[in-house]
Amino acid sequence: MVSIGAIILILALLILFHQNANATKGYMLRTLERERSYLLLEEEVLQVQVAEAQALEKLENENQIQTMLPLKNPIYTEGDSTVAQE
């Protein structure tokens, strides 16, 4: 009778340790998912900032662009012809 009680106690302790390990893994998984969501949001914000930095309006206002001289007599192509020949 004592041996059956000892086996039940050992099995209960093993189940307790197993459940504790699963709960810890679940908590770590939720924490990592939350961190991943935060990093994805941060990446999106950074991509918007990069797009703003590369915007045409910003480029037009740069010093290097401002020092460029306009063309006096630009030559444009005429007609509806294509560049490639048939």
86 within some domain:
no
Q: Tell me the pLDDT tens digit for each residue of 22-75.
A: 999 999 999 999 999 999 999 999 999 888 888 877 788 888 888 888 888 888
6 within some domain:
yes
Cβ atoms 52, 58 nearer than 8 A: yes
Q: Tell me the pLDDT tens digit for each residue of 9-25.
A: 999 999 999 999 999 99
pLDDT at 66: 84
15 within some domain:
yes
79 within some domain:
no
- pTM (2 d.p.): 0.50
For residue 78, is pLDDT > 80?
A: no
**Alpha-carbon distance values, 22 to 9, 18, 38 (Å):** 20, 6, 24
| Total domains, the chain | 1
For residue 7, give the nearest of 17, 15, 19, 18 by alpha carbon.
15
**CA–CA gap between residue 67 and residue 86 (Å, rounded):** 41
pLDDT at 64: 86
Residue 30 structural domain: 2-64
pLDDT at 83: 63
Q: Locate the DSSP E strands across the chain.
A: none
33 within some domain:
yes
71 within some domain:
no
